[in-house]
Structure 1
């Protein structure tokens, strides 16, 4: 009897999207994409999506079956956990879902791709230390009003590299539906009645916020909630939706997923960087081929919130 009861408990267990992300070692945005595509059945309990254990087990089983065929093993890139992986694998660092599409395409070209989910600044530092192959950046420089290159040139000084555009996208404020506190500008962050939810140090959204505050002489002490952090766009937007904060900074896509309003403030260039070497010449050619292919661009076009007009263009290349 006890054995039957234990079995029922196991079968009836359900997980939140955050728990699924931890179990699969992917971002929550990736979990939501799987749900939206119907690959991972989910249902709502209050404000939360839930996934039954049996559906998770079925999804994993299907993924394992696909991995028997090497050509079918492109839909679920592995996560990079060991530093030694850099020797034989393409480690892609960053959090956007377009990087998962890129990882799939790279595997289809015959490379083994692994995913790491660091923010932009931390990804660049990892690249400098030789711990990843391709990194994504959306780092705003308040002095030049440029994205990425001022940071890349400072951090990768003395190195040989190439920078390509992956996508462009809008960044701005997440606010409650109807924007009840009429939040419109960066200066509104310092209003006493406004509480923000921040991103973690090293993320592109955190750099954007800090740079905008710096050039406007807004102190972090003036911003209520500045020290409250989340680690991805979706969690920030969710905190606003749940009333934990009045405002968050992020990209448009996450606002549509959780049902908050979005106030666009800047168009950011989401670029990728790869070190140049004789050993990586084949990978670089494959990257350019993928990024400029109609097939890859069409895949991005199926996801709302991205501009592919510059996808595949070379932004900068060292001699």
Structure 2
């Protein structure tokens, strides 16, 4: 390949042994020059070579601890700015906190957050596009979380499921609950305006599994096809009066004025990683963070998290 030839993001990812998504993040932050041909992104080989050369200036063993000297801290920042990092899929705030702790850990790295739902996160993990995925997928047949889905959606790849937290899922309704909403069966109240989450996210799966279990026809739910992509978005719709009912976690209800929360089900929010990645220093750093007092203390201050099992490997698949 000629020195001045252009590469696709996937070709760059293959050269650097990182994911394509990480390449896009590097381009977005200006760490790797790129240009467009129509709707396609291209990167010059010489720019990739320059990036690799710059990265060779630092060795990970030179990055010691958070209490290191200013010189070492500066070296660590250089290392973080050029390290490939980990791609963390999921939509919960605790993953953002995990990413920040990871960047400050003595054996940490850059954390690239991809805010997508549980199905999409598992698919990216299976395709090698991410390093870990936060999931909360309820299976009505076994009345269990996550394990049945990981078995089917990440076939042939040994994985570990690490518990993050227990959360409460429930309905968002207007203050004083004017329609008297109590449970799942109330979704079909005549005239009720529902607002849904996008297909593939854990909240949508929870709804659809309960509809299946109760043999409720989703076509009878006014607003089933109306979708938003976050807990805050659907909670806001209820607060503004453009919807009467939505499903989401308790934390969003604490952040949006003018609504009440009706608890329905405790759910397990968990992290899925490839077992083969356990020998990576940055993955070991993640496990260390999840079991640390500092991480758990920060989550306790946010509410709506039960942390009794946080950091425990609950399944090996």
TM-score range, shorter chain: 0.7 to 0.9
Query: 1:106·1:112 contact (CA, 8 Å) conserved in 2?
Result: yes
- Once residues 130 and 151 of structure 1 are traced to their aligned partners in structure 2, the CA distance between those partners, rounded to angstroms, is 17
User: Residue 197 of structure 2 contacts residue 230 of structure 2 at CA under 8 Å; is this kept in 1?
Assistant: yes
Look up the match of 1:44.
none
Residue pair 1:167, 1:311 contacting (<8 A) in 2 also: yes
Which of 251, 255, 263 aligns to 1:257? It is 255
Q: Distance in 2 between matches of 1:126 and 1:203?
A: 14
TM-score (norm 1): 0.72
State the aligned residue count: 242
- Structure 1, residues 67-126: CA drift from partner, whole Å, max 9, x if none? x957689xxx99xxxxxx9x9320001111100111111112331211101111111111
* Alpha-carbon separation, structure 2, partners of 1:245 and 1:236: 8
CA positional deviation for 1:280? 4.4
Please state how far the C-alpha of 1:229 moved relative to its aligned partner.
0.3
CA distance in 1, matches of 2:301, 2:208: 32
CA distance in 1, matches of 2:265, 2:285: 31
Tell me, yes or no, if the aligned pair for 1:199 and 1:206 is still in contact at 8 Å: yes
1:81 maps to which residue? none
8 Å CA contact 1:71, 1:108 repeated in 2: no
Determine if contact 1:136/1:271 at 8 Å carries over to the other structure: yes
Alpha-carbon offset, residue 285 of structure 1 = 2.2
1:309 is matched with 308
In structure 1, the residue matched to 2:282 is 283
Q: Is 1:92 matched with 2:83? A: no
Q: Residues 152 and 308 (structure 1 numbering): CA distance in 2 closer, same or farther, change over 3 Å?
A: same
2:48 maps to none
What is the rounded CA distance, in whole Å, between the counterparts of 1:214 and 1:181 in structure 2? 24
Query: Residue 70 and residue 221 in structure 1: after superposition, are their counterparts in 2 closer, same or farther (change >3 A)?
Result: farther
Offset at 1:282?
A: 2.6
Counterparts of 1:131 and 1:70 in 2: how far apart (Å)?
28
Tell me the residue number matched to 2:217: 219
Q: Counterparts of 1:197 and 1:173 in 2: how far apart (Å)?
A: 11
1:268 and 2:267 equivalent?
yes
The aligned runs of 1:237-248 (5 Å cut-off) are 237-248=235-246
**Structure 2 Cα separation of the partners of residues 70 and 140 of structure 1:** 44
1:43-58 map, 5 Å: none
Per-residue deviation at 1:191?
Answer: 1.4
- Taking only aligned residues, the RMSD between alpha carbons, in angstroms, comes to 2.2
Larger Rg computed on CA atoms: 2
Rounded Cα–Cα distance in structure 2 between residues aligned with 1:279 and 1:291 = 14
Secondary structure of 1:208's aligned partner: helix
The offset of 1:215, in angstroms, is 0.6
Residue 160 of structure 1 and its aligned partner are, at CA, apart by: 1.1
Q: Secondary structure at the match of 2:225?
A: coil
Unmatched 5+ residue regions in structure 2? 1-27, 29-72
SS of equivalent to 1:162: strand
Partner of 1:155: 153
Written as runs of structure 1 = structure 2, the 5 A alignment for 1:74-153 is 88-109=84-105, 110-153=108-151
- 1:186 and 1:279 map into 2 onto residues whose CA distance is 41
Structure 1 alignment gaps of length 5 or more: 1-24, 26-67, 79-84
Q: 1:228 to 1:216 in 2, by over 3 A?
A: same
1:191-206 to 2 correspondences below 5 Å:
191-206=189-204
Partner SS for 1:236: helix
* Runs of 4+ displaced beyond 4 Å: 68-73
In the other structure, the counterpart of 1:179 is 177
**What's the CA shift for 1:277?**
1.5
Measure the CA separation in 2 of the matches of 1:168 and 1:279. Answer: 24
Give the distance between the partners of 1:100 and 1:190, measured in 2 at CA.
36
